[in-house]
A and B are shown apart, each in its own frame.
Chain A
Amino acid sequence: MTRRMKWIQLGVLAALIVLLPLLFPSGYYYRVGALIFVNALSVVGLVILIGYAGQISLGHAGFAGIGAYACALAPEHLGLHPGLAVLLGAGISGVMALLIGRPILRLKGYYLAVATLGFGILVSMVLTNERALTGGPDGMVVADPGLRDLLRDLGLRLSGGELWYGVSGLVLLVGAWIALNLLDSPTGRAMRALHGSEVAAATVGIDVAAQKLRAFVISAVYASVAGSLLALQNQYVTPDVAGFLHSVEMVTMAVLGGVGSVLGATLGAAILTLLPQVLTVFAEYEQLVLGAVMIGVMIFLPQGLLPSIARRLRGTSE
């Protein structure tokens, strides 16, 4: 039953990724689509952390920043291929999450939110102030990973937009597959159990602190890979990728779409990515809109958009 649900959700996602370009009026929309997928990827990571394990992070953009700058710095200073830099960034993010989470997650309550808030600001400050290394607030250029040339040699001619649309879509699918695997696995059950009741989870033998830490590390890796993809497709990074606003954006996307649902997370990411594109007037008031969305969802759709719609369709009035 749940396995069938998993493949249905992945099928829907795959169909959307493949079919949406038929509706694109111009090549520009491949860029927007790629941006949606990248955002959705980090939000799927947050679904694992917030939706499964019930922990809040307000500094996940810090991990996106690590992933992004790994792709910018590692090829230049270590001579690493940008593709490998993605893995390096993910590794560093995972280790950082482990170091932050280990002491914090032993405590009950919302200490993680506070600690990650500090962490995100720290990363953002380092990226802004280490001008010699990172170019400061102006950001820095990211080397082309040569993927397009490789595909051209293989006889596949793609525009930059098309290429990154495809790559981001594929990575999002893999990310969604992993998150859905986790949902219906012993680890996922343990995470959801401690979300429901920490004391009961502990009495059935679940190491609550260790499972929270797992969720935190996994979600940090998601954010890091998303940051890397963003850097690679823009071929440019600025410290904004690690900024507090980006962290809040991620959480809002997750909450809007439905924090327990992988497809919902993608929907939330799509809506909040498109909004500033469609209504340029919102670009100026992004923080205001994010705040309003957050409050509105909490009041009217506490489960998030997709689960609420699904519930209504099923006809249950709860």
Chain B
Amino acid sequence: MSLLEVSGLGISFGGLRAVEDVSFSVSPGEIVSVIGPNGAGKTTLFNMISGVYRPGRGSVRLNGQDVTATAPHLLARMGLSRTFQNLQIFQEMTVLDNVLAGYHLTERGPVWADLLALPSMRRRAAEVRCGARDLLARVRLDKAAEQEAGSLSYGALKRLEIARALALGPKILLLDEPAAGCNAVETEEIDHLIAELAASGIAILLVEHDMKLVMRISSHIVVLDHGQKIAEGDPATVSRNPAVIAAYLGTDAPTEDPAHADG
């Protein structure tokens, strides 16, 4: 059974139908990519799935449970984690603290234990600290652990976001353009990391502009244009689809009504 099931999802802003009737599903260990030209509604789709926006239509099911319009922090408890296209880093915290914040659900306890620094709190904090350092090593940021996050380079921040999202121990991970702004070497690293995560059984939903990356690692691709799904399938099928080529290369679709062509 698929882990994430999106059916008929849609939202309008004002009169604009930003996303309309999009359906697909993601299974554990699968990498599903959402592609499409700028403004196609990819990030909006992510925001609806992750509870940041409330969908106008359709439903999202996680593990068979209806989670449409569930608050993000509750989705996190159910194993859904994400990164952001425009970085959302806790800038004034250290790199390590950023990842530790990702362990919030594991390390949290009664507030008085935190206020009084009771041994139970220190034990909880110490337990996740090891895991946090391992995660940082995994994204090659272990040496920067004590630095203020705001001082890192763009590519490093991208990796930090992934580490933070992994701290949650997610069943499904939504990655919004993880390779944007990264150089070839960094992109390849992210490529390996994503493949590793999928191999470990995490379901991955990916938005990415780097077509080479998408074609290489995706098991399934969903193509959006003007908020609608215009194609889906495995990378080979999608890359041959005329509607996809038209959307990307801007060829006029042959559906235009000739009666209004000279309006």
Report Cα–Cα, A83/B19, bound state, in Å.
Answer: 61
Report Cα–Cα, A142/B88, bound state, in Å.
Answer: 51
Residues of A within 8 A of B105 (CB): 204-205
Q: Is A201 an interface residue (CB 8 A)?
A: yes
Q: Is B168 an interface residue (CB 8 A)?
A: yes
Whether B73 contacts A196 by the Cβ 8 Å rule is: no
Residues of B within 8 A of A178 (CB): 115-116
Known: A190-B108, A196-B90, A196-B92. A202 touches B97 (CB 8 A): no
B77, B98, B115: the one within 8 Å of A181 (CB): B115
Whether B93 contacts A204 by the Cβ 8 Å rule is: no
Q: Is A218 an interface residue (CB 8 A)?
A: yes
B90, B100, B113: the one within 8 Å of A197 (CB): B90
Report Cα–Cα, A205/B81, bound state, in Å.
Answer: 9
Known: A192-B93, A197-B89, A197-B90. A204 touches B125 (CB 8 A): no
Report Cα–Cα, A212/B90, bound state, in Å.
Answer: 16
Q: Is A145 an interface residue (CB 8 A)?
A: no
Report Cα–Cα, A200/B164, bound state, in Å.
Answer: 10
Chain B residue with minimal CB distance to A48? B115
Q: Is A214 an interface residue (CB 8 A)?
A: yes
Whether A202 contacts B124 by the Cβ 8 Å rule is: no
Whether A205 contacts B104 by the Cβ 8 Å rule is: yes
Bits for A203-215, please: 1 = Cβ < 8 Å to B, else 0. 1111110000010
Residues of A within 8 A of B124 (CB): 186
Q: Could you tell me the distance in whole angstroms from the C-beta of A267 to the nearest C-beta in chain B? A: 20
Whether A181 contacts B114 by the Cβ 8 Å rule is: yes
Residue from the set A184, A189, A199 with the largest chain B CB neighbour count within 10 Å: A189
Q: Is B109 an interface residue (CB 8 A)?
A: yes
Whether A202 contacts B73 by the Cβ 8 Å rule is: yes
Report Cα–Cα, A185/B124, bound state, in Å.
Answer: 9
Q: Is A290 an interface residue (CB 8 A)?
A: no
Q: Is B9 an interface residue (CB 8 A)?
A: no
B72, B75, B117: the one within 8 Å of A199 (CB): B72
Residues of B within 8 A of A72 (CB): none
Whether B115 contacts A196 by the Cβ 8 Å rule is: no
Whether A202 contacts B76 by the Cβ 8 Å rule is: yes
Whether A192 contacts B81 by the Cβ 8 Å rule is: no
Q: Is A1 an interface residue (CB 8 A)?
A: yes
Residues of A within 8 A of B109 (CB): 186
Chain A residue with minimal CB distance to B118? A181
Q: Could you tell me the distance in whole angstroms from the C-beta of A8 to the nearest C-beta in chain B? A: 15
Q: Is B71 an interface residue (CB 8 A)?
A: yes
A182, A189, A193, A207: the one within 8 Å of B115 (CB): A182
Residues of B within 8 A of A137 (CB): none
Report Cα–Cα, A188/B72, bound state, in Å.
Answer: 20
Q: Is A9 an interface residue (CB 8 A)?
A: no
Whether B114 contacts A204 by the Cβ 8 Å rule is: no
Residues of B within 8 A of A189 (CB): 93, 97, 100-101, 104
Q: Is B136 an interface residue (CB 8 A)?
A: no
Residues of A within 8 A of B142 (CB): none
Q: A-side binding surface: helix, strand, loop or mixed? A: helix
Known: A186-B124, A189-B104. A202 touches B114 (CB 8 A): no
Whether B104 contacts A192 by the Cβ 8 Å rule is: no
Report Cα–Cα, A186/B123, bound state, in Å.
Answer: 11
Residues of B within 8 A of A206 (CB): 73, 101, 104
Report Cα–Cα, A207/B111, bound state, in Å.
Answer: 13
Residues of B within 8 A of A196 (CB): 89-93
Known: A192-B97, A202-B71, A203-B82. A186 touches B125 (CB 8 A): yes
Q: Is A235 an interface residue (CB 8 A)?
A: no
Q: Could you tell me the distance in whole angstroms from the C-beta of A86 to the nearest C-beta in chain B? A: 17
Q: Is A308 an interface residue (CB 8 A)?
A: no
Q: Is A187 an interface residue (CB 8 A)?
A: yes
Residues of B within 8 A of A202 (CB): 51-52, 71-73, 76
Q: Is B50 an interface residue (CB 8 A)?
A: yes
Residues of A within 8 A of B84 (CB): 199-200
Report Cα–Cα, A196/B87, bound state, in Å.
Answer: 11
Residues of A within 8 A of B102 (CB): 204
Residues of B within 8 A of A218 (CB): 115
Q: Is B165 an interface residue (CB 8 A)?
A: yes
Question: Which of chain B's residues 124-158 have a Cβ closer than 8 Å to chain A?
Answer: 124-125, 146
Report Cα–Cα, A196/B90, bound state, in Å.
Answer: 5
**Apart from the given pairs A1-B146, A189-B100, A200-B88, 9 other A-B contacts in the complex at a CB distance below 8 Å:** A181-B116, A185-B113, A186-B107, A186-B114, A193-B90, A200-B89, A201-B90, A202-B51, A202-B76
Residues on B lying within 8 angstroms of A by beta carbon are: 50-52, 71-73, 75-77, 81-82, 84, 88-93, 97-98, 100-102, 104-105, 107-109, 111, 113-117, 121, 124-125, 146, 164-165, 167-168
A sample of 30 cross-chain residue pairs with beta-carbon separation below 8 angstroms, ordered by A number, consists of A178-B115, A181-B117, A185-B114, A185-B117, A185-B125, A186-B107, A186-B109, A186-B121, A187-B108, A187-B114, A189-B104, A192-B93, A192-B97, A193-B90, A193-B101, A197-B89, A197-B90, A200-B90, A200-B164, A202-B51, A203-B52, A203-B72, A203-B76, A203-B81, A203-B82, A204-B104, A205-B73, A205-B168, A206-B101, A208-B73
- A-B pairs, 6 with minimum CB distance: A196-B90, A205-B76, A185-B114, A200-B88, A202-B72, A181-B117
